[in-house]
Structure 1
């Protein structure tokens, strides 16, 4: 019996014991836990939960780890209380399909051109495990600044960089200003001739080999001659454990209406969103993608999206 095996075994037992203790302390059943997870979009079978509690199996892969994060919240535990007890694994977990998130062939071709110009493989050999995108809206009600933080995972081989792109389907724009905040540097910039795709090659601080993860953070600032834009969002080509889109409005530009627009392979859904007296709106999707999550807003009576600025 190797020392490596011993370490995995003891870690699995520690995880199972902590999970049992937390369930007992909360005085809930596995069926209750399963129902609560289902309401949050995490479909975990009773058998799987039982295996985790007994130590026969442990959570692996993005979907299971997303469920584990919810379990910690449901049981009143601090973040990563259970996750930190898991032994390390060299599995990426189920990757799911890689799919261009927007159903527009011309935009996908422009993105392919951008990847080729930046020297990156298409599709990219990575996925966003968790992404938080924060957009600031100025006093005129238009997008002014966006900062995004992601846990990035290599899905195969070793990667040294990845493209980050801004897409404006149907609208020609000047290039916004990309900045590397943390985790790497901007190695190269690119703008497609049509003006609907701009981006950069974000070179990582260190090479990343599958299935390891790293943290990256970048920002985008929009120049004064940028078309007035009253929508923002984030797109993922693979399933993301958690996607958060947070839009913060200037105190003088709180909108009269907002709506969430979600596009996936199943189609497009649009849902009204209320500010509830707050100065911001946040949209959270777990186990989401491939697809796009957007927030649109306006002032005065609601008009069709095609009539909105930008």
Structure 2
């Protein structure tokens, strides 16, 4: 005996605004409804294309979303929404951004006070001293959506470069810069060179060479409005040409004061100095010691990956041990 078919509720389509305007300001249900209409796909076909991508979503759920009776909140629903954006030919996160504060986990950053950036390094008074006079409120108005760090380790065992691609959304009007802080553990050395900037420029920079601390701000092309997203890229070149050798690095991590939807950490090792072992670690900010999550398997290109979804607050990284 076949199971009864789940019937989606009927609703009246009252969308009158153009799709591009709805994607800018919402509401989410109207924008989804207009995007489906513009693409000319039925809910059955959208469901079928999701199934081909390994995602199960009922027609009733799709109908509830576009009628405004429900909104995607759970991680599985948010992953399905990202694929729907692809199926409908929309820019990445164009629909997700309209959910605003309905994602309960992300909303925690608004309902609870975001930690000060100096709190990400508890017990390190040098960070507070370094940032004195710098505007440190950027993290309270910017929500990290996705971030990809690609860290290259040279044959000498030192971090040679870091390339970052970062997608953020403004929770308030006027967000115009992003603050970075790095503890490069390069005591007595010049700070890394900032290069390969995209969609931003380098603002003020401060550093303490004796402590190996380096901080500054990336200034956006214009102030953002609430709900707008910005994608920036930058690279830190730490080749230190012509300088005396220093101690090898053995770990790299990022500290997050607010939850991030997806963080990808990619470590690339020189083929002349592959590591004996790599481990992924993650911990709460207040934890004294990192918690090892799992061992990582090296790929053919001498690269390892660790991925965090709906991660934070906390710190997330990779530890390695090079051969003799």
- TM more than 0.5: yes
The correspondence for 1:21, drawn from 9, 33, 45, is: 45
Shift of 1:146: 0.5
C-alpha deviations, 1:18-56, integer Å up to 9, x for none?
55423245669x9x737xxxxxxxxxx999677337763
After TM superposition, the structure 1 = structure 2 runs for residues 1-310 of structure 1, keeping only pairs within 5 Å, are 3-4=16-17, 11-13=31-33, 20-24=44-48, 33=56, 51-52=64-65, 56-59=69-72, 65-69=78-82, 71=83, 86=95, 89=98, 91-93=100-102, 94-97=106-109, 98-99=114-115, 104-107=121-124, 109-121=125-137, 123-168=139-184, 172=187, 174=189, 175-179=191-195, 181-192=197-208, 195-222=211-238, 223=240, 224-225=243-244, 227-264=247-284, 268-270=290-292, 271-300=294-323
Structure-2 separation of matches of 1:5 and 1:269:
49
Shift of residue 190, structure 1, vs aligned partner: 0.8
Relative contact order (C-alpha < 8 Å, sep 6+): which is higher? 1
TM-score (norm 1): 0.73
Conserved 8 A contact 1:160-1:206: yes
Relative to structure 1, is the Cα distance of residues 227 and 179 closer, same or farther in structure 2, using a 3 angstrom cutoff? farther
**Residue 206 of structure 1: CA displacement?**
1.0
* Cα deviations by residue, 1:192-230 (Å, 9 ceiling, x for unpaired): 486143111211111122221111111112224554213
> Contact 1:234–1:245 at 8 Å: present in 2 too?
no
Q: 1:157 deviation in Å?
A: 3.2
Give the SS at the match of 2:223: strand
Q: Which runs of 5+ in 1 are unaligned?
A: 35-44, 302-310
* Contact persistence 1:66–1:286 (CA under 8 A): no
Find the aligned partners of 1:124 and 1:238 in 2 and give their Cα distance.
9
For the 8 Å contact 1:166–1:198, the answer to whether it is kept is yes
Residue equivalent to 1:306: none
Separation (CA, whole Å) in 1 of partners of 2:140 and 2:128: 10
Distance 1:241 1:201 in 2: 22
1:258: how far off? Answer: 0.7
Distance 1:179 1:237 in 2: 25
Contact 2:145–2:169 under 8 Å retained in 1: yes
Mark the CA change 1:46 to 1:164 in structure 2 (over 3 Å): closer, same or farther.
farther
For residues 123 and 59 of structure 1, the distance between their equivalents in structure 2, rounded to whole angstroms, comes to: 25
Supply the RMSD in Å over aligned alpha carbons.
4.1
Q: Distance in 1 between matches of 2:50 and 2:75?
A: 25
Q: Specify the structure having the higher radius of gyration (Cα).
A: 2
Query: How far, CA to CA, are the matches of 2:169 and 2:32 in structure 1?
Result: 23
The CA distance in 2 between the partners of 1:83 and 1:52, in whole Å, is 18
The range that moved more, 187-196 or 133-142, is: 187-196
